[in-house]
Amino acid sequence: MKTRNFKILLIGLILIIISLFFIINLYNKPFIDIKKSNPKIEITAQEILNDYQADESLANEKYVDNLIQIKGEIADISFDNGISIITLKDTSGFSSIICHMLPEANLNILKLKKENQVLIKGVCTGYLIDIMMVRCVLNNDNFDEK
Amino acid sequence: MTILMKNKIIILLLLLISSQLFSQERYLTKEGYISFFSHSLVEDIKADNYQVLSVIDKKTGEIAIQLLMKSFMFKKALMQEHFNQSYVESYKYPKATFKGFILNLKELDNKNGTVAVEIKGILSIHGKEKEISTMANVQILKDQINLSGHFMVEVADFDIKIPIVVRNNIAKTIKITFDLQHKSYK
């Protein structure tokens, strides 16, 4: 009888430890690794801008929260408050794509200039008067070509 | 060309013309900063948004702010997920806006340094509107208007429902901090 109670107690304890482990793991769930993950959508700057200007909510359904790789021409590079921002050109309008880069991309950004063609991978958050991208990195192909 | 597109082009042209006419009066930022902070006994939660769009008309003191809820960055992925999916329902209400006035902005033109001003307007989050009045610091430079400060909002005012399980983790009153550095635009 005593050993049976002990066994139940032991199993119960193990179950609690396992579930605690899962809860803590879930709580600390990491963000996806942008650099290592494959983009869900590959697109040019003009294509995504056209989609947003045609129908914003439809474009939101397609792009928001997804890892996207955009090919475009640099309109501007800025370093504000320790964040580097690359703006991609809208060749047929007054909008743009504003990409907030992850700090790990900083070193490579120094090698870039305005009007360079780049591949930028990041997460789309939506559209104000520009398309907004967060947690962006530069695709390595940008530098292999040179 | 559809009628919708024609209308959009006309609006854009009108905007362009009006911005040409009042070019010295409009100030804009596309990388403003707004954060919110929730303090509770269980945990502190902070989220930063560096993609805030804000426009000030210096002549009238009018200010319009827009941001994407998805652009709030959290320390933990799970918090960000819950915030967007369950609390503010970003897929339904992707933007938060503020439209209002900086009172007596014109009279501050000749003052140097940072001055306290009152801002009044309508804050819209999660599809719900609420009138807000707060003090802020404004600094007027040659081609720049800097606006910063903070105010408190009640979560309940915006019909945001927090599940009972995490009720103790999230404060009922949230502190919102802003730092918007507008530049004049041509």
CA atoms within 13 A on the CB side of B92: 11
How many residues belong to chain A? Answer: 146
Looking at the domain assignment, is residue B17 inside a domain? no
CATH number of the domain residue B143 falls in: 2.40.128.110
Set of chain A residues whose Cβ sits within 8 Å of the Cβ of B51: 98, 100, 125, 128, 132, 134
Q: Which two tokens stand for residue B128?
A: 């719900």
Tell me the C-alpha to C-alpha distance, in Å, between residue A62 and each of A55, B150, B183: 11, 35, 33
Looking at the domain assignment, is residue B56 inside a domain? yes
3-state secondary structure of B121: strand
Q: Mind listing the pLDDT tens digit of every residue in chain A (146 residues)?
A: 678 889 999 999 999 999 999 888 888 888 889 989 999 999 999 999 999 999 999 999 999 999 999 999 999 999 877 789 999 999 888 899 999 999 988 888 988 999 999 999 999 999 999 999 999 999 866 665 54
CB–CB of A98 and B76 under 8 A?
no
Interatomic CA distance for residues B174 and B152, integer angstroms: 6
Asked if A62 is an interface residue toward chain B (Cβ–Cβ < 8 A), one would say: no
How many folded domains does chain B comprise?
1
CB–CB of A128 and B70 under 8 A?
no
Interatomic CA distance for residues B151 and B130, integer angstroms: 13
Looking at the domain assignment, is residue B12 inside a domain? no
Interatomic CA distance for residues A75 and B175, integer angstroms: 35
> What does pTM read for this prediction?
0.85
CB–CB of B30 and A128 under 8 A?
yes
More confident residue, B83 or B111: B83
Beta bridge partners of B99: B64, B122
Interatomic CA distance for residues B142 and B58, integer angstroms: 12
Largest CA distance in chain B: 58
Looking at the domain assignment, is residue B71 inside a domain? yes
Q: If you write DSSP's letter for every residue of chain A in order, what string do you get?
A: -HHHHHHHHHHHHHHHHHHHHHHHHHHTPPPP-TTTSPPSEEEEHHHHHHHHHH-HHHHHHHHBTSEEEEEEEEEEEEEETTEEEEEEE-TTSS-EEEEEEPGGGHHHHTT--TT-EEEEEEEEEEESSSEEEEEEEE-THHHHT-
Q: Which CATH architecture has domain A41-144?
A: Beta Barrel (2.40)
Give the domain range for residue B174. 24-184
Q: How many CB atoms lie within 10 A of CB B128?
A: 12
CB–CB of A130 and B30 under 8 A?
yes
Please provide the average confidence, as pLDDT, over all residues in chain B: 88
Set of chain A residues whose Cβ sits within 8 Å of the Cβ of B80: 31
Of residues B125, B105, B123, B128, the one with CA closest to residue B115? B105
Looking at the domain assignment, is residue B39 inside a domain? yes
Of residues A62, A58, A90, the one with CA closest to residue A74? A90
Looking at the predicted structure, is the pLDDT value of residue B89 above 50?
yes
**Tokens 């304890």 — which residue?**
A13
Question: CB-based contacts of A105: which residues, under 8 Å, 6+ apart?
Answer: A84, A136, A137, A138
Looking at the domain assignment, is residue B32 inside a domain? yes
Looking at the domain assignment, is residue B5 inside a domain? no
More confident residue, B162 or A16: A16
Question: For residue B4, what pLDDT is reported?
Answer: 59
Looking at the domain assignment, is residue B9 inside a domain? no
